[in-house]
Amino acid sequence: MEISECVEERHFAEAWPLISQLRTSLSESEYQKRLAAAKAHGYRLFAAREGGVCVGVIGWRIGHNLVFGRYLYVDDLVIDESQRGKGYGQELLDFARTEAARENCSNLTLNSGFHRTDAHRFYELSGMTKTGFSFREPVVPLD
We report the CATH number of the domain holding residue 17 as 3.40.630.30
The Cα 139–Cα 133 span in angstroms is: 19
Average pLDDT over residues 134-143: 92
Query: How does the average pLDDT of the chain come out, rounded?
Result: 96
Would 82 be classed as within a structural domain? yes
Place 143 in a pLDDT band, splitting at 50, 70 and 90: confident
Of 2-11, 30-39, 76-85, 130-139, least confident by mean pLDDT is: 130-139
In a domain, 109, yes or no: yes
Contacts of 123 (CB under 8 A, 6+ apart): 93, 110, 112
Which tens digits make up the pLDDT trace of 63-106? 999 999 999 999 999 999 999 999 999 999 999 999 999 999 99
In the 8-state DSSP scheme, what is residue 5? E
Question: What string of DSSP letters covers 73-93?
Answer: EEEEEEE-GGGTTSSHHHHHH
Q: What residue numbers bound the domain in which 66 lies?
A: 2-125
In a domain, 142, yes or no: no
The answer to the question of residue 66 being in a domain is: yes
Q: Is the pLDDT of residue 31 over 90?
A: yes
Supply the pLDDT for residue 40: 97
Residue 140 covered by a domain: no
Is 133 a member of any domain? no
Q: Is residue 137 part of a domain?
A: no
Count of domains in the chain?
Answer: 1
Is 90 exceeded by the pLDDT of residue 127? Answer: yes
Assigned domain for 114 exists: yes
